[in-house]
Chains A and B, each alone.
Chain A
Amino acid sequence: MAARAQVGRIGGRVLAGVGVLWGAATLSFLALHATAGDAALATVAGDGANPTQAVLERVRQDYGLDLPLHRQYLNYLGNLLTGDLGESYQQRISVTRAIGEQLGPTVALALSAALLALVLAVTVAVFTAGRRRWVRSTASGAEVVLASFPTFVLGLLLLIVFSFRTGWFPVSGNDGFAALVLPAVTLALPIAAVLAQVLRAELEDVLEQPFILTARTRGMRDTAVRLRHALRHALIQIVTMSGYMIGTLLGGAVITETLFVRRGVGQLMLTAVTTKDIPLVLGVVLFAAAVYVVVNLVVDIVYGLVDPRVVTA
């Protein structure tokens, strides 16, 4: 009975996920076409280019840009159903390949930033929760500052101190671990700040609970109480925050990758938007939406397994 409810629930979520993807594709398609600017001109006739009319018309034909909008939309959806995301106007390769080529560095950046953010947030929260007033307000103040810092300013500060001045880390590029450090820190700090705030509040809540008192009366040391008992309960908040984290990671990647001249999906998105590379923008939007949908689905399933009450609720 419970198993069937579980399957039905997941099925519903999957359907909703497909709906989200369709909505994202449709809205982005409309938004891209509604903004002023001729995509064919942008593709071949930007600054310093002097193409002939024949070239321009050829591009319009090749990409169906001469068709009425509803035809273009139906063609796009039709191709999407067969798994074809189209060809990038600027790169002249399939969108799938264009994203695939840039995915590795972004995943590496996002994962290391997420890991770093978690470690930082947990450490800070565990050691400051329920402490003296000045400790908490100093930590909390630093977190508010970090969380509200624009990513590019933070990144630039790190660059100036740890790269331009000291030369400890390379200024830019994708070469190895050293080049990953500053971008990952830039991306991680604001996330860590928000997570630490949430975690501390949760920890302080848990630390008030009777079972903590029980543990303490058993003679358990403070650090052990915090790590073994309180943290375990507070961590569920992190799972809830995963949507926020992914959003910030993807959004932050655009800025971080540009600033540190790293290859990746963020950079790809930025160039695609500025050159009105419609299939590529749609591809990245769909990709980002798919990541959201999948992560939320996984979180849902995990919740259901951890706490069966969620299923019936």
Chain B
Amino acid sequence: MRVRHKLRSLAGLAALALLAGCGAGGGAATGPGSANEPARGAALNAEGTPVSGGILRLSMNTDPLCLDPHAISSDVEQIFGHILTDNLVYLDEQGQPGPYLAESWQISPDGRTYTFKLRQGVTFSDGTPFDAEAVRVNFEHMLDPTTRSPLAGPYIAPYRDSKIIDAHTIEVHLSVAYSPFLDVLAQGWLGLLSPKAINETTPAQLCEKPIGSGPFVLTGYTKNQGVTFAKRPGYDWAPPQLKQTGEAKLDGIEVSWVGQDAVRFNSLTGGQYQATGYVPAQNAAALKNNPEFVYANVNRIGLPYTVEFNTSRAPFDNLDVRRAFAAAVNVPAIVATLGFGERQQSTSYVDRVTKYYDPAVKLPGFDPKLANQLLDQAGWTSRNGDGYRTKGGKELAVQWPVSQAGTVSPIFDLIQAQVKSVGIRVNIQLLPSTQVTTLRYAGDYDLTYGVWHTNTPDVLYIKYASFSIPNAKRLGQNTSHLSDPQVDQWLDQARQTTDQATQQKLYGQVQARLAELVPGIPVYDNSVLWAFSRKLHNVSVDTSHGTPLFTYAWLEK
């Protein structure tokens, strides 16, 4: 074992020496844009004649403790979903829904009936044929409360029922018009499982042994240790966008959970793994400059990393105070510190790769003078002994409950220090994640933070529609508690129309309105950072979430 390890390092050294000798840098086929920001749908390190065989060793971050894509929200499913399962829809390079297991579809004029024509000859790995009934059973499994679906179910919440027209035609009825329906069907969490497995096992059993129709089959799962996948013989229904057919090239994929950043980075460069789905941002530069690796930094669709105000209570129910706080925060300085040069500053309330992202939207910038002026205007004119502003004897202080599993993010301290200079006190409460979650749904905080990744601009509905404000009867993700009739109306209209020009106009208006309402401070466009050895070829960039897709990846002998 150790001898082999040493040999590998020697081979690596030899390769390095060769490269240095030739003066070649190792140019990657990373598609348009800079070398580190490959386009969605691009095939990375695709040169060479494909060979079959080999096991890919992949390191991931944390075990979701359940592998049923419908039952988890863990972002490993962005990668696992496309290893184990197939979807009805696959997005193309421009983010438009394209065929996959659904060959075509029709949408009724009222936007509430979707008729899918399904691909024939597809089977799940337990032999069950893929048909209209399978699709129906999957939708119902996602929505069944016993599945405990945190994402798949909620993403198809408007689903009402299905009518099976024939074995390969299904008519899906929605309770309301919901234009993001096709987009969300392309997400890893909505991969399709064998209806036989769904019907014959409990949700808990399905967590351990989900059965899909994908290019690989689950062959082993040891919790907190790893997962093994083996190539599915006879697989021949990859999304047409991959422009390849037939079985996977790899014999299998061996996944290990490596939670510590430093360990994950070193075990990758040390040759213990050939790919990782999670490059720590602080190690990105080292990987970028390492000619033995291909490094990818792909922007995600959805809500940027955003610091959010609780607009439902004082002091952030006051627009001037929100604007003042935002003006006191030096976002570029924070992005430089947090991102290690790997993140771009946000320019709107959606990441710049989101469909209908509006580049014309202008977020208010860093302006301490304006911040002071706005706070004076809001009546916070006097200061106490600590230098914080007061009004009627009350200090301008806000509560920020935060939790961090490993190291505490410097963002909390940076913001605390920055807004202190205009006289706002931020009390950071470091709590266990369970308590932060509880406070979040109870609305008991002044500041919160987060990201939301999806593959549609409907993320704005999830984050900013009044409907999404959590209350005693409904959970929801509108953590800024923003309630604006105009925003609500536009977001509803965007859900009701499938006309792209109208959607573009509506989502643009929403972004401009949010920039005025300041429900939060978008900080940086979040991106997925991943890397793999140059010995691994033809890794695609998933069009939904920018993650690596290994369907036709192959390993040099």
Contacts and interface: CB of A to CB of B under 8 A. Distances in A.
A46 B148 contact: no
Given A92-B66, A174-B225, A54 B150 contact: no
B150 A58 contact: no
A178 B270 CA distance: 15
B437 A45 contact: yes
Contacts of B272: 170-173
Interface stretch (A32-40, A198-206, A241-249): A32-40
B505 interface: no
A164 interface: yes
B544 interface: no
B259 interface: yes
Given A50-B150, A51-B148, A90-B65, A261 B474 contact: no
A37 B450 CA distance: 19
Contacts of A137: none
Contact of B477 (A38, A50, A259, A261): A50
Contacts of B286: none
Contacts of B145: 52, 54-55, 57-58
A276 B260 contact: no
A95 interface: no
B154 A52 contact: yes
Q: Is the interface of B mostly helix, strand, loop or mixed?
A: mixed
A47 B1 contact: no
Interface string B42-66: 0000000000000000000000011
Contacts, number: 156
B266 interface: yes
A69 to B, nearest CB: 17
Interface in B168-214: 203-204, 207-208
Contacts of B204: 87, 92-93
Interface stretch (B311-319, B428-436, B482-490): B428-436
B224 A267 contact: yes
Given A50-B462, A55-B148, A59-B148, A164 B222 contact: no
A91 B65 contact: yes
A58 to B, nearest CB: 4
Contacts of A170: 267, 272
A291 B254 CA distance: 35
Contact of B150 (A51, A164, A259): A51
Contact of B258 (A41, A55, A91, A261): A261
Contacts of A159: 262-263
Contacts of B476: 50
B235 interface: no
B5 interface: yes
B399 to A, nearest CB: 14
Contact of B149 (A55, A173, A263): A55
Interface in B317-359: none
Interface string A268-304: 1001011110000000000000000000000000000
Given A50-B477, A174-B225, A261 B450 contact: no
Contacts of B34: none
Given A53-B473, A91-B65, A263-B225, A167 B154 contact: no
B266 A44 contact: no
Given A44-B150, A102-B224, A171-B263, A53 B434 contact: no
Interface residues of B, number: 55
Contact of B148 (A44, A50, A91, A268): A44
Most buried by A among B74, B203, B224, B441: B224
Contacts of A46: 73, 433, 437
A125 B210 CA distance: 55
A51 B475 contact: yes
A167 B270 contact: yes
A101 interface: yes
A163 interface: yes
Nearest to B74: A48
A298 B412 CA distance: 51
B557 interface: no
A56 interface: yes
Nearest to A276: B434
Nearest to B225: A263
B154 A92 contact: no
A109 B9 CA distance: 28
B417 interface: no
Interface string A49-84: 111111111110000000000000000000000000
A280 to B, nearest CB: 11
B447 to A, nearest CB: 16
Interface string B209-253: 000000000000011110000000000000000000000000000
B405 interface: yes
Nearest to A98: B223
Contact of A163 (B153, B157, B266): B266
Interface string B142-173: 00011011110110010000000000000000
A87 B65 CA distance: 14
A176 interface: yes
A171 B59 CA distance: 12
A56 B473 CA distance: 11
Contact of B475 (A35, A53, A267, A268): A53
A91 B203 CA distance: 11
Interface in A79-111: 87, 90-93, 98, 101-102
A145 to B, nearest CB: 24
25 contacts: A35-B432, A35-B435, A37-B432, A37-B434, A42-B433, A42-B434, A42-B437, A45-B437, A48-B74, A50-B475, A51-B150, A52-B145, A52-B153, A52-B157, A53-B473, A55-B145, A55-B148, A58-B148, A90-B65, A92-B66, A164-B266, A178-B2, A261-B257, A274-B432, A275-B433
Given A38-B441, A46-B437, A52-B157, 5 more contacts: A48-B453, A50-B154, A101-B222, A101-B223, A164-B262
Interface of B: 1-2, 5-6, 9, 65-66, 73-75, 145-146, 148-151, 153-154, 157, 203-204, 207-208, 222-225, 256-260, 262-263, 266-267, 270, 272, 405, 432-435, 437-438, 441, 450, 452-453, 462, 473-477
Which 10 pairs from chain A and chain B are nearest by CB?
A49-B150, A37-B434, A92-B204, A58-B145, A49-B73, A42-B434, A37-B435, A276-B434, A171-B267, A263-B225
